[in-house]
Structure 1
Amino acid sequence: MVTSERVDRASVGLRSERGPVLLAVMLSVGLVAIDSTVLATAVPAVVRDLGGFTQFPWLFSIYLLAQAVSVPIYGKLADLRGRKPMMLVGVGLFVAGSILCGVAWTMPALIAFRLVQGLGAGAIQPIAMTIVGDIYTVAERARVQGYLASVWGLSAVIGPTLGGVFSDYISWRWIFFVNIPLGLAAAWMLARRFHENVERTVSHRIDYAGAVLLAVGGSLLLLGLLEGGVMWAWDSPVSVAVLVTAVVLLVAFILVERRAAEPVMPLWVLGRRVLNSANASALLVGVLLIGLTTYVPLYAQGVLHTSALVAGFALAAMTLGWPLAASLAGRLYLRLGFRTTMLLGAVIVTIGAGILLTVTAASSVLHLAFACFVVGLGLGFASSPSVVAAQASVDWRSRGVVTGANMFARSVGSAVGVAAFGAVANSMVAASVGSGHPQLEHLSGEVLAPAVHSVYYGAAGAALVLIVAVAFMPNHPQRDQPAEASS
């Protein structure tokens, strides 16, 4: 496998200095990682300045939508045009969106500029992982995955801290302006140190119809899942129209992909055991992540009566456990295999979810943080190897596609988790206080505790399904013959 990977790198003419390129990739990932935590702590300051309290959830939804639907498209373009130009496009869009967000004059303007940021993030995340897959062998990636995961761990601490400092002492606008030097440094290092010579002799045909159908259909699907039960009732005409239209467009997308010369999402991605297991695992990881990131801080503040800062650090325990496990996972899957390592992770996630169920109103916040840490350890063992296994099963020409598909699955999982957990929590609250109840964050601890516990039961169920999903992963995936080359 290592030999074939070296052939891959030679075939695209990589002449890169791997250390500087890895640093540039880590800086690029840091842009997205910090952004995922820094804005939440600054929302009160943003609302005080711009108004639009009822609109601010769209700051997160529009970003998620743009990122999710663009990920597979960027993945395919990276296979056709090369990693470097697409990564530079992503960093450029993210920095441009950050500048625009920093000078936004109204909440609608800020929401629109967050869309630009999301389009940039949609390129950065999958292509960063693809570049790592190009320049490092499977054995080397065992170490490098830990470096990338550590970026998220540091961001879990740095993001909320920066958000609080900028909001309280300078201006919330600096949470966006801080991305400028990071983005420029990453782009400069990529431009100077990352060199690839993508084969240009073949005339590529861009699958515009597939890209449009996927973008619009995927956006409507995620929109329906994110806003169903929030902006409109699940059984309302708007909800039905959005979800039905999404299904029709996605069915049309599949039909178009069957005939496209170079489909943006080749259907062979759905026909391989290793990819199906990796993508199913990513979807369930997305479900678990959104359940924790949404409801753990809510439980800490509303039931355990901690401050927002303490609640944030309780959740950060999960993000600290993840990189620790990811750095160890590489050594394990080289010795024990991918399936064994991922099964270990899924079991640890289930144990962590079980510990969450033992947290009560009388518990210490350290009890809650420990449960999050255990879940984070499990996710590190389960998630990182799945991406490496998926990448190792294809050659250079398809690595961007499979990486993009994996991250798209995680985004869909997050949207499904928002819808499912929100419906469960709200139904529990409605059973206690009636249908006209206030927002969850305004409920008493006595009402909130059983509602959030129902979400923890859902997370435990998702963890059990994760065990089943990873059980289908081959222990030692082999690279398939490149049938995708003819797709």
Structure 2
Amino acid sequence: MDYENHYNSAEDKTIMIMVGLMVGLLVAAFDYSIMATAMPKVINSLHGMEYYVWPFTVYMLTSTISIILFGKLSDIYGRKHVLILGIIIFVVTSVMCGFATNMFELILFRGLQGIGGGILLSLPFIVVGEIFSPRERARYMGILASVFGLADVLGPILGGVITDTLGWRWVFFVNVPVGIAAVTLILYSLPNFKLPDVKKIIDYPGILTFTLTLSALFLGLTLAGDLDRYPLTEIGGFLVFSGFMFTLFILAEKKAVEPIFPLHLFKNSIFTVSAVESFLASALMFCGIIYVPLFAQGVLGMSATNSGILMIPMLFSLTMTSVITGQIISRVGKYKKLVVAEFIITGVGVVLLATMNMNTPYYLLVAYSTVLGIGSGMAYTIFNVAVQNAFALREIGIVTASVRFFRNVGTIVFVPVFGYIMNFTLGSSAGVTASYTQALALSIQNIFIMAIVLAFAGLIVAFFLKELPLGDTPNNS
């Protein structure tokens, strides 16, 4: 009877920890989908249409930087403390965003909010890696990753309802009660994991050069999306400066006692391949999330609401596949064949999407995008499990944060590239095609052709992924 009570108590605590982690992750995961719905009203209220993308891009920049910084700092100060700090930062800055009186303030506060968002996007996956054995991790990683799909499905709906009934400011204020619930659950359920043998030395040169490298790269790529507005000398200047800072960053990390991004991780082929694959998988997923709704509205003439409903099967399949993939890995203890399958399925999805034209019926668009969703959902779980299994427990924090970092960088790099392909095609098609709608259809088709190249590259790289069978006990330190 005592054993049964102990078992039930441990199981209850596991459930409570997972609920706390999922609620914390949900706060950040909802951000993009809710903001996308609310932004038109935000622009009407605060004006500054020319800065439309900046609240998104600044948030993406700061969250990507903080993924690595706080992944490393949590090694020193403990996962629990850093995770709670992330929720507090996110909630406080959400309130600040809600009270913004102009676009400059909103962009500034969104940048600060991204710091908390980056912590929330990486720390829950690190905690799961430390609590569970390699086989168990796969199952719980899949459950945790399903939060993103849930947020993508419900976010646009909630964003629309909140914006229309309460006003756009409540899109930010609603984070307060959810954040309080997450802090309460984590505070009372989660042990404070930290590495006892880590020196409490902060790598300031690494932090500075890393931040400047990514910021300059991000600005250069973002400005390159609108070559008519920004001169090539300005864009080139940012990219050259980024390259220079990257060189200094490498030198700083080689000398650092406790580097924020240990370069020896790349000596492990599983980490290197997983980083590349995460980079490509993220680009492929966002290709669908961004351009399927645009095709539905701009080419097929659907309303914004109906195009959002059309996306639900893709996002639902993404969520379910994430969970199912985790269950499969947990059961069989292997992952390489799933990586190959992931890029085959994703490749089939983008090949089908590349065949679309003005006469494509909406039900085929739903079917094609759902195939892409199935493949994209698999990537959420596989690479976290693979890299966590390849390293000792003391390095799980930084390797998990690094894989999440490369996912974000894939988005940062390819979203402007896709935008450039669309703008270039639209410009070169002017006067050649019969209508703007035809030109838009052709430009989106070219984007998916680019995605086919990325999917093929991902499939080739997948065969270089070394497979270490997953054990039933935690990694050795």
Taking structure 2 as the reference length, the TM-score comes to 0.92
Could you tell me how far 1:475 is from its partner in structure 2? 2.4
2: CA distance, partners of 1:194 / 1:383? 23
Q: Secondary structure at the match of 1:39?
A: helix
2: CA distance, partners of 1:157 / 1:197? 33
1:217 is aligned, of 213, 217, 232, to: 213
Could you tell me how far 1:418 is from its partner in structure 2? 1.5
Which residues of structure 1 form unaligned runs of 5+?
1-13, 436-442, 480-484
Q: What is the identity percentage for the equivalent residue pairs of Structure 1 and Structure 2?
A: 31
Could you tell me how far 1:53 is from its partner in structure 2? 1.1
2:375 is aligned, of 378, 382, 404, to: 378
Q: Are residues 202 and 320 of structure 1, via their aligned partners in 2, closer, same or farther at CA, if it must alter by over 3 Å? A: closer
1:85 is aligned, of 75, 81, 87, to: 81
- Higher mean C-alpha displacement, 284-293 vs 240-249: 284-293
Could you say which residue in structure 2 is the equivalent of 1:465?
Answer: 457
1:345 correspondence with 2:342: yes
Could you tell me how far 1:136 is from its partner in structure 2? 1.6
Native 8 Å contact 1:153 1:322 kept in 2: yes
Could you tell me how far 1:166 is from its partner in structure 2? 1.7
Q: Are residues 271 and 26 of structure 1, via their aligned partners in 2, closer, same or farther at CA, if it must alter by over 3 Å? A: same
Native 8 Å contact 2:350 2:372 kept in 1: yes
Native 8 Å contact 1:288 1:459 kept in 2: yes
Where in structure 2 are the equivalents of 1:214-293 lying within 5 Å?
Answer: 214-230=210-226, 236-293=232-289
Native 8 Å contact 1:80 1:397 kept in 2: no
Q: Secondary structure at the match of 1:171?
A: coil
2:400 is aligned, of 381, 396, 403, to: 403
AA partner of residue 145 (structure 2): A
Could you say which residue in structure 2 is the equivalent of 1:4?
Answer: none
2: CA distance, partners of 1:231 / 1:477? 49
Could you tell me how far 1:235 is from its partner in structure 2? 6.1
AA partner of residue 467 (structure 2): N
Q: Secondary structure at the match of 1:253?
A: helix
- Higher mean C-alpha displacement, 120-129 vs 151-160: 151-160
Aligned length: 461
2: CA distance, partners of 1:235 / 1:197? 49
AA partner of residue 326 (structure 2): G
1:26 is aligned, of 6, 22, 27, to: 22
1:423 correspondence with 2:423: no
Could you tell me how far 1:146 is from its partner in structure 2? 2.8
2: CA distance, partners of 1:478 / 1:161? 39
AA partner of residue 264 (structure 2): W
Native 8 Å contact 2:81 2:192 kept in 1: no
Q: Are residues 434 and 458 of structure 1, via their aligned partners in 2, closer, same or farther at CA, if it must alter by over 3 Å? A: same
Q: Are residues 56 and 89 of structure 1, via their aligned partners in 2, closer, same or farther at CA, if it must alter by over 3 Å? A: same
2: CA distance, partners of 1:90 / 1:145? 20
Could you say which residue in structure 2 is the equivalent of 1:191?
Answer: 187
AA partner of residue 444 (structure 2): V
Deviations 1:5-32 (A, max 9, x none): xxxxxxxxx9992211110110011111
1: CA distance, partners of 2:176 / 2:327? 36
Q: Are residues 276 and 46 of structure 1, via their aligned partners in 2, closer, same or farther at CA, if it must alter by over 3 Å? A: same
Could you tell me how far 1:316 is from its partner in structure 2? 3.4
Could you tell me how far 1:313 is from its partner in structure 2? 2.8
AA partner of residue 308 (structure 2): G
2: CA distance, partners of 1:352 / 1:265? 34
Native 8 Å contact 2:33 2:152 kept in 1: yes
2: CA distance, partners of 1:434 / 1:92? 53
Could you tell me how far 1:143 is from its partner in structure 2? 2.2
2: CA distance, partners of 1:234 / 1:394? 44
Native 8 Å contact 1:345 1:381 kept in 2: yes
Could you say which residue in structure 1 is the equivalent of 2:150?
Answer: 154
Q: Are residues 199 and 33 of structure 1, via their aligned partners in 2, closer, same or farther at CA, if it must alter by over 3 Å? A: closer
Q: Secondary structure at the match of 2:360?
A: coil
Could you tell me how far 1:163 is from its partner in structure 2? 1.2
Could you say which residue in structure 2 is the equivalent of 1:44?
Answer: 40
Q: Are residues 434 and 273 of structure 1, via their aligned partners in 2, closer, same or farther at CA, if it must alter by over 3 Å? A: farther
Could you say which residue in structure 1 is the equivalent of 2:411?
Answer: 414
1:315 correspondence with 2:307: no
2: CA distance, partners of 1:180 / 1:229? 35
Which residues of structure 2 form unaligned runs of 5+?
1-9, 472-476
2: CA distance, partners of 1:327 / 1:395? 25
Taking structure 1 as the reference length, the TM-score comes to 0.90
1:116 is aligned, of 112, 116, 129, to: 112
1:61 is aligned, of 57, 62, 72, to: 57
Deviations 1:341-385 (A, max 9, x none): 111111110111112123221222221122121111112223411
Instruction: Kindly report the root-mean-square deviation, in angstroms, between the aligned alpha carbons of the 2 structures.
Output: 2.3
AA partner of residue 304 (structure 2): A
Q: Secondary structure at the match of 1:217?
A: helix
Could you tell me how far 1:200 is from its partner in structure 2? 5.0
Q: Are residues 459 and 315 of structure 1, via their aligned partners in 2, closer, same or farther at CA, if it must alter by over 3 Å? A: farther
Q: Are residues 354 and 20 of structure 1, via their aligned partners in 2, closer, same or farther at CA, if it must alter by over 3 Å? A: same
Could you tell me how far 1:387 is from its partner in structure 2? 0.9
1:133 is aligned, of 103, 123, 129, to: 129
AA partner of residue 302 (structure 1): G
1:387 is aligned, of 351, 376, 384, to: 384
AA partner of residue 324 (structure 1): M
Could you tell me how far 1:336 is from its partner in structure 2? 6.7
